[in-house]
Every structure is written in C-alpha cells, then in structure tokens.
Amino acid sequence: MSGIDHIPILKDKEVMPKPLDPKKFIKYFWIAYVVGITLVVLFFIGVTLGLFGAMPTFEELENPKSSLATEILSEDGKLLGKYYFENRTNTHFQELSPNVINALIATEDARFYEHSGIDFRAIFRVVWGMATGTSKGGGSTITQQLAKNLFPRKPNRTFGETVMIKFKEWITAIKLERNYSKEEILAMYLNTVDFGSQSFGIKSAAKTYFNKEPDQLNPEEAAVLIGILKAPTYFSPVRNPARAIERRNTVLYQMQRYEYLSKSEYDSLRAVPLNMENYRIQDHTTGLATYFREYLRGYLTDWCNSHKKEDGTEYSLYRDGLRVHTTINYKMQEYAEKAVAAYLGKELQPAFYAHWKGIPTAPFVFEKADERKEINNLLLSAMRRTDRYASMKTAGFKEPDIINEFKTKTRMKVFTWRGERDTIMTPFDSIRYYKFFLQCGLMSMDPHSGFVKAYVGGIDYLHFQYDHVKFAKRQVGSTFKPFLYTLAMQEGESPCARYPNVQPVIELDNGTVWAPENTSEERRGEQVTLKWALANSNNWISGQLIRKYSPAAVVAMAHKMGVTSSIPAVYSIALGSCDISLYEMVGAMSVFANKGVFTEPIFITRIEDKDGNLIQDFKPKKQEAISEETAFLMLQLMQGVVNYGTGIRLKYKYGFDNPVAGKTGTTQNQSDGWFMGITPDLVSGVWVGCEDRSAHFRTLALGQGANTALPVWALYMQQVYADPNLHIVKYKDFEHPKKGLEVEFDCGDEENAIASPGTNKEVKKKKKKTVIDTDEF
C-alpha cells in the first residue's frame, strides 16, 4: 500500500487544530502560577488571621499555659511531693542533661537546628513514602509537635478539619521559632510531653522512673525516656520492659548514627540491662512526709480559695505550679520516719502480738463482763464507717446483706511492717486485723523559730490515714503535769520546795471526793521535793498542787503556753485526763526551751508562683507565756525526769549523757504512751497507742510511755546528733537567765529517786462506795 493511502481525508466543515502559540502558553502558565501562589498566600494569611478558626494570640505564644503541679519543698530545697491534675513541673534548658537533648534531636528531628519550624525535606519524604508505599517516618518537627502540645487538637475531627489544623500548626510552629530560641523550644517541648506513669514533662519523668533530676540522666536513661514518647504505655519500661529495651536501643542507634555516641559507646550501652529499681509513681500516698503533705493539702486549698491572682481569679493548687517552701528538714523527716519504723515495726508491735498471743479477746479490754459482745459492737461500728459500707448502703443493700458481704472471704492486700501482703480474709476480719496495730505520732520543732522540722502522723498513710499529730486528740497523762508545776514555779515555789508524800482527799461539789493514788509506797509520808515528785510522776504531790492553785488556774496556764483545746477545770487534769493534740503539746513544751516565749509551730515559710515570684511569706506568732526564770526552773525540774526519774532509760539504755529535759506520760489502762523531749535547739514529742482506746497493753511495764514512746524519741535523736550537717549540737546546755537565779537545784534527794514502773490510780468515793479507775503514770 502506497503512502498516499494514509493521508487523512477531511470531512466537510472539519478544521485542523492550530498549534498552541508558545508565547500564550508561557503567559497562561505564569498567570496560573501567580494566581496559585496568591491563593496560597491569601489562604495562609486567612489562617493566620483566624478566618478559618481561632489561632493562638501573641500573648498566648509569649505565655503558653499548661497545667503545672504545685511543688512542696523541704527547707533544704528538696522535693517532698506535689499536688496536680497533671504531674508536671517546668525545667529550663540549662537544667537538662545533654544526653536528653541529643537523644531527642537524633530521634525526633535530626535537622532541628537547620529549619525554621517546618522541615520541607521531611514533608517531601512523607509525601513520597505515601505515594510509593515506602513510608519512613513522620514529617513533624519538634516545633510542630510543641505547637500541637501547647494548643491541643479537638477530638472527633473530620478529615477537612484535620488538614486545616495541620496548616495552623505549621503557622504556629513558625511563630514559635520567631518568639523563642532553639534551646527554649527544646525545653518547652520536654516540659509538655506525656511520659506515662502520671508523669508530664521531663522533670517529673526523671524523678518517677529514675529518682533523678533531668541534668543527672545518663545516655541509656535518656534513651529510655525519649523512647517512651512514641507510645507511653506500649513502650513503658515497667509494663513492657522488652519493648522498652528495644525502643531504647533504637534511640541509642539514632544517637550513634548522628554522631552523638561513638560506635563503641553504642555497642556498650545497648547491652546494659534495664534498671528500674528507683521507679516510683509520685502520688500522695507514697514517699516522704505523707501525713504532712495531706495536712498541707487542706491548708493550701483554703489558702488558694482566699487569695487571688492579678487577673482576679483564685489560685489553683493543682494547675498554677505554686512553689511551697516548708520548714520540714528532709534528713530529719527521714530520721523520724526511720525511728518510728525501726521501733514499732521491729520491737514494739512484735511485743504487742506476743503479749496478746492465745487470748480470744485480743487486743481489746472491756470492763464489762461480756467482752465478746463489746468487741463485736466495736467492729460493727467500725464497719459502718468504711467506704465499702457507704457504697453498699447507697446502692440499696439492707444491713443484714451488708454484714453478710463483710463476712465473706475475698482476696485483698493488707499492711504488714514487711510490706504489703496478698491474702484472703473477710473484710470484717480485716477491720479487727488493723485494730491490732499500734499507731504513732511524732513532731519535732525548733523552739526559737517555730519551724516544724519533722512530722510523722502515723505508721503508713496508704492504710492508716488518720493524722496523729494535728488532728488526733488523746489523753496526755503525766505530760500535762509540767503545766501544773509551771504554775507553782511562777507563783514562787522552788524545785526543792518540800511537800508531805501523802494522799490528798478533795471534796467535790457533787458529794464525792477526789483522791489520786500512787501504787508505789516509796517514801510514803516523807517530805519530798517538787523536783523528785515530778521526776517520779508522783500523783499525790500533783493533787496537792492543784488543790493549792485551783484547776482553773492550771487551765489558764496551759492555754497561755499555746494549748488551744478545751480543758475542763476539774481536779483530774492534774493527772492528764484531758485530750490534747501532739501538735499543741510540742508547741507548749517549746516555751521552756525558748526562755518562756511561746512561738507558734509553723509549716510554711513562703509561697511563690511558678516563676519564683514571692506571693506570701509566713512568720510565726509569738507571745510571752511565762518568765525566763520560770522556764529555766522547769527545765531543771524536767531534767530530773531523765537523770533519775521515769525517763532514766535514755541514759542507761540509749546513752544520752547530754542535757535533756523530758516528761513521760501514760494514760488510763495504758491506752496512750507519751514522751516529750526538750533539748536547747529541738523540742520533740512522741505519742503511741492503738486506734481504739480499748486496745492496749495489759501491763504498765509494757504500756507505759517510757517503753512505748520514749524509745522512738531516742532513736530519732541519735540520728539527728550523728548528722553534722544538721548543726544540732549535742553537748550544749540550756542558757541561764540573764538576771541570774539564786535558787537551789541540788535538792539532795536524788539518791532516793525511784524509776520503777507502777500504776497510779485515781479513787472516787461517794458515801461507802469506792470506784477505782486506772489512770496514768
């Protein structure tokens, strides 16, 4: 076939297309290009101006808001705990380990220092990966991720909204780069991210996972934390250690790839096992000073409600990042908690178990014949105060059904001094199990400044949440006698003043008589000094003094020295029948060491905002309670308690040969044991007893304050004196009054002192009927 056969034949009215003019093509191309660019520019201008939805303002970019935890700091600047919705505390770039920065950049944004908020090479890589199915990671920069963290996306978005939000994050990232340095952006990013385990921000994460500050993290620890960011639960080193190690090694590889680590360092570090022995979630039930922190939570909540910020809104304890500087000394708090655990956990509680072994009614003592019925009523009453009972009652359960549920065995974790133990028992039995534990309160303060240095409200806050320092009020026993003797000294008595050691019998208005009784017959009928009487906690002399000066005068003296609890003006307060908190007692005893001036015990020195600006500082209230001379006389009297009286075991068992003034106390049926110890620079008090007053030791030898509370004080002070950094001088005497005193202190009857345990009893007589109530030692 010839070529002519292939020539197209045009039909009628058909016209051959004209070739496109190259000049017009170029013209249209540039028009389209310019229009496209203009539309893109206008689009981004519209996004910037908020035409497609709100954008962060300049002020918001300058001061981005995130929920910050309030920090509770010891007097030596150590973290005691936090209050938070999100456990977050901001840190600065200078406070970050280079290992953290290197791990973050190598893993998340290798060209961080090269771009201005958007990495177009990374974006092209993502687009190419999506087109070819060879995805090699995301394209968001650290700055873009920061923008997303600071201004979170709303949930349940459409695809179009997601695309629009992405554009907004681009613009926000560029603005952030203009407003902040690269170092500031890195710190801000690490402050905003979630590391899991209730840890928001690098500072909280370092503390939670490794108990370190951010600048102390080594390369492998930094790699663990940065690795967590991809998926906090999936790569959790606690829940999923194998995945966490794999992810950590990926981060370490990236650090080696970008030359933050050498090949040999990488090979060495990737073989290091995962060490999570210091892992601890930070919450209010664990850590140091738990009872103190819980007391402070209530106080600070009220403080926040009554103080306003510059914008007129109230402070938030859980969001505003307040810094609360307390008076608690970190080491002294540690020593106090160790002393409680060492004595109660290893000695006193085992002795309590042995003391009650094999007795069906353990650990309760009731005066009524039907003890089992009384015990059952006590446990039922305790049951009705539990959360389990309240929830079942709310759900509509009847009382018999609830009791049946409480008497059905179930799996639970219970407290032991060796740690929590998994067991199976009925909730009703668990109530009795917990009633068996001896509780303890300890408070220690500087008598001159009023600063509380240590505060132990109980043996374990997770299981026993009642605070035995500030809130519990128990009978104080003989620790009340110093108020009575103070009144006598103030009225002109001397330590060597002599009284007949005979039982006083005081007629009461209701026709009965009040007659305190001593078990010991030592020196009965003799003339004894006030110094000897207080040292040996003699009830007869106390009875004579309160008869001489009146109950009302003694109550007034106690209140003047700082006691705020209501005290009945009755003769039995001479034996300590009134209920007072440990907080009040320690504050009042500090008057003696502070030359007669009462200084209110305080817990906070100042509160700052998140930037360290002072909001309020705190000063203790002070008032002269007694004269300097009276205070010194009382110190001489109370040193007799330790030198040859009821507190003598401080010397022969614990080796205290320095000046210590003290007072033991034991209440009715040995339900409460007390010891108040006074040194020139530190006043500390200890209370020990069961939750219920009907649970206690059955003998005074075991249940007296000299055996239950005094050893805790001794173990605490031994550690305090052994720490030279605390500057608590052991061999320092109490200062003499400036005016001097012409008073005889060597009364010559110390050789007749007794320190043997015995029960003092209070006898109430009406006509021919005699009722004897065991009282205090």
Task: Write down the residue that tokens 């007799």 correspond to.
Answer: 640
pLDDT number for residue 767: 33
* Residue-averaged pLDDT of the chain: 86
Q: Is 50 exceeded by the pLDDT of residue 776?
A: no
Asked whether the beta carbons of 534 and 481 are under 8 A apart, the reply is yes
745, 733 contact by CB (below 8 A): no
As a whole number of angstroms, the distance between CA 449 and CA 599 comes to 7
**Higher-pLDDT residue of 21, 248:** 248
> Is the pLDDT confidence value at 703 over 60?
yes
- Where do the DSSP E strands lie in 287-370? 323-326
155: amino acid identity, one letter: P
| Residue 163 binned pLDDT confidence (cut-offs 50, 70, 90) | low
**pLDDT score, position 777:** 38
Kind of pairing between the strands at 604-608 and 614-617 = antiparallel
Task: Indicate whether 758 pLDDT > 50.
Answer: no
In eight-state DSSP terms, residue 152 is P
Joined together, the tokens standing for residue 38 give 């203009």
- Answer whether residue 747 shows pLDDT above 90: no
Instruction: Please state, as a whole number, how many other Cβ atoms lie within 10 Å of the Cβ of residue 235.
Output: 22
If DSSP codes are grouped into helix, strand and coil, which group holds residue 153?
A: coil
- As given in the structure block, the two tokens for residue 568 are 């009945």
Q: How confident is the model at residue 457 (pLDDT cuts 50, 70, 90)?
A: very high
Work out the angle at residue 580's Cα, subtended by the Cα atoms of residues 761 and 554, and round it to the nearest 5 degrees.
70
Distance of CA 476 to the CA centre of its chain: 26
> Which one-letter DSSP state was computed for residue 514?
E
Q: Is the pLDDT of residue 672 over 50?
A: yes
The residues, ordered by sequence, that sit 6+ positions from 203 with a Cβ below 8 Å of its Cβ are 89, 90, 91, 95, 191, 213, 214
Residue 567: predicted pLDDT: 97
Is the model's pLDDT at 751 over the cut of 50?
no
In this prediction, residue 118 carries a pLDDT of: 74
Report d(CA 686, CA 709) in Å as an integer.
6
Task: Note the pLDDT of residue 489.
Answer: 95
Instruction: Band the pLDDT of 772: cuts 50, 70, 90.
Output: very low
Cβ atoms of 589 and 601 within 8 Å: the answer is no
pLDDT at residue 171 greater than cutoff 60: yes
Structure confidence by residue, pLDDT tens digits, 175-232? 788 888 999 889 989 988 889 888 889 999 999 999 999 999 999 999 999 999 999 9
The bridge status of strand 323-326 relative to strand 70-73 is parallel
Task: Please state which of the ranges 148-152, 269-273, 329-333, 628-632 shows the lowest mean pLDDT.
Answer: 148-152
- pLDDT of res. 310: 86
- 755: pLDDT strictly greater than 70: no
Per-residue pLDDT tens for 430-445?
A: 999 999 999 999 999 9
**pLDDT of res. 525:** 83
14, pLDDT greater than 90:
no
Which pLDDT tens digit goes with each residue over 576-592?
999 999 999 999 999 99
DSSP string for 227-242: HHTT-TTTT-TTT-HH
From 199, 338, 194, select the one nearest 282 (Cα to Cα): 199
* 19 preceded by a cis bond (ω within 30 of 0): no
Burial class (CB in 10 A: 0-12, 13-18, 19+), 213: middle
Is the four-CA dihedral 232, 233, 238, 240 of positive or negative sign? negative
**How far is the C-alpha of 150 from the C-alpha of 172, rounded, in Å?**
10
Q: What is the mean pLDDT of residues 16-31?
A: 68
- Span 588-635, pLDDT tens digits: 999 999 999 999 999 999 999 998 999 999 999 999 999 999 999 999
The answer, yes or no, to whether residue 653 has pLDDT greater than 60, is yes
Binned at pLDDT 50, 70 and 90, residue 757 comes out as: very low
